[in-house]
Amino acid sequence: MRKGYAWDGPSGPTIDTKDSLRGSLVHDALYQLMRLGLLSQSYRDEADALLKKLCIEDGMNSVRAQLWYVVVRMFAEPYARYSAEEVLTAP
């Protein structure tokens, strides 16, 4: 993990499992790039689809992965919005 980047696993009411870790890390990083204005928000759908693809590749049941995709599509858009004030905190 790069110095200065904090990631705490999958967000929301879910159980962190080995099959969700890589996908959620990549997804969180892509959303952070969108919030920082370094990646166009037009890539949001691709980021969400990549989350699903990586979870399935890592062994997640396809029904669970599809549910994650649907929930992310429904509720995660605010987390991809550009924010001029990205606040970093450490535990």
**Helix count (H) and strand count (E) of the chain?**
3, 0
pLDDT in tens, 13-72: 888 899 999 999 999 999 989 988 999 999 999 999 999 999 999 999 999 999 999 999
Asked if pLDDT for residue 1 goes beyond 80, the answer is no
Residues in contact with 33: Cβ distance below 8 Å, sequence separation at least 6, in sequence order = 39
Q: What is the pTM of this model?
A: 0.83
**Residue 48, Cβ neighbours under 10 Å: how many?**
22
The residues spanned by each domain of the chain are: 18-80
- What's the CA gap between 39 and 61, in Å, rounded? 30
